[in-house]
Amino acid sequence: MEEPRLILLPLGDPDPEVVRVIAARIETTLRVSVTIAAKEPLPPEAWFPDRKRWRADRILDHLAARPFAAARVAAVTDQPISTTKGVIRDWGIAGLGELPGRQCVFSTFLYRGLKRRDRATYLRYVGDLALHEIGHTLGLPHCDHSGCLMADAKGNALRSAAQSQGAYCARCARTLGRLRLRATDNRDW
């Protein structure tokens, strides 16, 4: 069977080296083939001028409307993103992924303070974030197991990232294995 494919799509101007590190982390953790697409501007319809940031839900709609030659599409941006959460109309987030679905988007923005100060930690955090959002697209919900990649950030992306063990917990890994075993074609994994 052909190896499942994921397209990593840079939106805006994320650091190309950071994008390459994220691609390698996805490949080794999920054993999929990752293609880095040419970078694109963020979709103008996602711009939210009141808060000067980008609506992640609109970005997902924008991606959903397009054909991609891959089972999954993960968009990575350096720009701040947000979505509606409960009664909060516009809530800043690190990432958003369909559960399950084809696409997710995540942003390096909330970790930007670490980029020069502690590059290793910065790269670990953005890699963890990518695997969290892609986990959602594969059908993994949030997990209560402390330190699991699928833990809910509960509004504090930095604290959550600091607590991450950098791996799916045993239960999430089993669920992921089951979901992928059940997948019958390249659309599912």
**Which runs of consecutive H residues, i.e. helices, occur in the chain?**
16-30, 56-64, 114-117, 119-137, 157-163, 170-182
The least distance separating Zn ion from the CB of residue 82, rounded to whole angstroms, comes to 14
- Is 130:26 a contact under the CB 8 Å cutoff? yes
Dist. CA 5–CA 36, nearest whole Å = 11
Sign of CA dihedral 13, 15, 17, 22: negative
Q: How many residues bind Zn ion (CB under 5 A)?
A: 6
The least distance separating Zn ion from the CB of residue 189, rounded to whole angstroms, comes to 18
The least distance separating Zn ion from the CB of residue 121, rounded to whole angstroms, comes to 20
Q: Is 47 buried (19+), middle (13-18) or exposed (0-12) by CB count in 10 A? A: middle
Contacts of Zn ion in 83-112 (CB under 5 A): none
Whichever of 22 and 172 has its CB closer to Zn ion, that residue is 172
Whichever of 119 and 174 has its CB closer to Zn ion, that residue is 174
The least distance separating Zn ion from the CB of residue 133, rounded to whole angstroms, comes to 7
Q: Which amino acid is at 126?
A: V
Whichever of 100 and 186 has its CB closer to Zn ion, that residue is 100
Whichever of 173 and 183 has its CB closer to Zn ion, that residue is 173
Whichever of 36 and 179 has its CB closer to Zn ion, that residue is 179
Whichever of 46 and 96 has its CB closer to Zn ion, that residue is 96
Contacts of Zn ion in 118-177 (CB under 5 A): 143, 145, 148, 150, 169, 172
**Close Cβ partners of 163 (under 8 Å, ≥ 6 residues apart):** 146, 147, 151
The least distance separating Zn ion from the CB of residue 135, rounded to whole angstroms, comes to 8
Dist. CA 136–CA 153, nearest whole Å = 13
The least distance separating Zn ion from the CB of residue 171, rounded to whole angstroms, comes to 5
Give the footprint of Zn ion on this chain (CB under 5 A).
Answer: 143, 145, 148, 150, 169, 172
